[in-house]
Amino acid sequence: MIEYVFILPVLGGLMALFLPTTLGRGLLIITAFLHLQLTVLGWLGKLTPAFINFFKVTPEGMLVLLVTSFIFALISIYAVAYVSETGLKNEPVFICCMLLFLGTMSMVALSDHPIVLWISIEATTLVSAPLIFIKRSKEALEATWKYVMICSVGIALALLGCFFITLSMDIGNVDVPLSFSSLNQVAKQLDPLWLKAGFVFVIIGFGTKMGLAPMHTWLPDAHSQAPSAVSALLSGALLNCAFLGIYKVHALMNVAGLGAFSSNVLIGFGLFSVLVAGIFILNQPDYKRMLAYSSIENMGVIAFGVGVGGIAGYGAILHLIHHSLLKSSLFLSSGNILLGFGTKLVPKVGNMVKLFPKTFVSFFAGFAGISGFPPFGIFISEILIIIGAFQAGRYVSVGVLIFGLILVFAGAARIVMDISFGETSQEVLIKEKFFRIMPSFVLLLTSIGLCIWIPDGIYQKILHTIQIIGGGIHG
């Protein structure tokens, strides 16, 4: 029964509310690693869904699940080190919400029924909201309020989109159970007009959650105000889950023969996100907001790649994996910088190379990776996406994309150079510790490792994922 993948963290999370803090910390790490094992069992095909109406093992879902589980296991180590050093007022709530967050994200990855998918994505918003305002500062409150309101309204529109898809079934006189897998089989009979309307609402709704511009406004606030372990999860895992919702509908559109429409919408939103991120990153005074805008840019790149299809589809899925690894590593490093200097403002921090040599290595390497330098995976994925776009003949779009990427690189490079080598008068508050550095290095090394050798299982899953949108490694 693969449902254990989300039942286990949910039960663990509820239990954590009643446990003393030390036990709760242990529970967080144990549950995270048990979850990773369950995920691996799921990959090996040992687990099958019990509620086949609602859940299904799909290649795209399993990829997202594996990424989520892997980075959560590492982030849980960081989070425990973080809370034991700094102390949180509501630690049981923090641990409970972390585990519930993992549970709801796993549920997203397994959902096959559109409304169940919707329920789980809305649930991720609700259980992650307390994580963002766990510090209870005025800014954190504001960020949480915006996050909950903007995402709830956005996701509510996605529910409307799901209803339109159901309507397209009724008009087409299709009588199958409401689930993505059975809809894919009868896609040609669905009413195209309402399917299109459904897709538009779904991409606006889940796109809000994924951080596509112009619905991204909650994202920089939430990512910069949340504790760094939470920011890493938001960026590395949550955005993928929202993307999964869009991807499933995009796949349905492709099977229904409306792929051209949904591709163009995805490419449009993708390019706009990259450009908006590039503009806002240029004079960004806050390094955590800089990372948040970089997430918006990368989500844009993924949407663009999926929209282009072909070899770019392969690149997009690869991009998703590597972005999760590198960005969560970057957020964890930024957490060390924040603990060390006590400020998020770039002008006040500096000289990291002397004061925090290990964090400097992980932060700088993460920056190199996210900007697309080898030996990290984003180098390959971005090249594949650009090649794919050229093959598809989208010369103008690819020009805009490259221009946006350059803008983001220019903005981010200035900030990273300032932090690393600039002057600072700030005193070091908390030194770097092994358990807060090890996770970011493991994440970076995984990205390098996946670049050199990609396990056949993962390779096959990616190919299966993009098959439905007409993607493949041979273009």
Residues that bind another protein (CB under 8 A): 53-54, 113, 115-116, 118-119, 122-123, 125-126, 129-130, 133, 136, 138-139, 141-146, 148-149, 152-153, 156-157, 159-160, 163-164, 166-167, 169-170, 178, 220-221, 224-225, 280, 284, 289
CB of residue 365 to another protein, shortest distance in Å: 27
Cα angle for residues 374, 375, 376 (degrees, 5° grid): 85
CB of residue 207 to another protein, shortest distance in Å: 17
451 pairs with which residues across the strands?
none
What is the rounded CA–CA span in Å between residue 435 and residue 186?
Answer: 51
> Does residue 28 contact residue 79 with C-beta atoms inside 8 Å?
yes
CB of residue 146 to another protein, shortest distance in Å: 7
Closer to another protein by Cβ: residue 334 or 359: 334
CB of residue 129 to another protein, shortest distance in Å: 5
CB of residue 194 to another protein, shortest distance in Å: 9
The half-sphere exposure of 472 on its side-chain side, counting CA atoms within 13 A, is 5
CB of residue 369 to another protein, shortest distance in Å: 25
Residue type, 229: A
Closer to another protein by Cβ: residue 214 or 399: 214
Closer to another protein by Cβ: residue 218 or 356: 218
Closer to another protein by Cβ: residue 56 or 289: 289
Closer to another protein by Cβ: residue 74 or 165: 165
Q: How far apart are the first and last CA of the chain?
A: 37
> Nearest 10 degrees: CA dihedral of 370, 371, 372, 377?
0
CB of residue 308 to another protein, shortest distance in Å: 29
The tokens of 110 are what? 């397994």
Closer to another protein by Cβ: residue 57 or 119: 119
Closer to another protein by Cβ: residue 343 or 391: 343
Closer to another protein by Cβ: residue 54 or 356: 54
Within 10 angstroms of residue 49's Cβ, the number of other Cβ atoms is: 17
CB of residue 351 to another protein, shortest distance in Å: 26
Closer to another protein by Cβ: residue 163 or 261: 163
φ and ψ at residue 324, rounded to 5 degrees: -60, -45
CB of residue 201 to another protein, shortest distance in Å: 10
Closer to another protein by Cβ: residue 161 or 259: 161
The tokens of 343 are what? 């400020």
CB of residue 321 to another protein, shortest distance in Å: 29
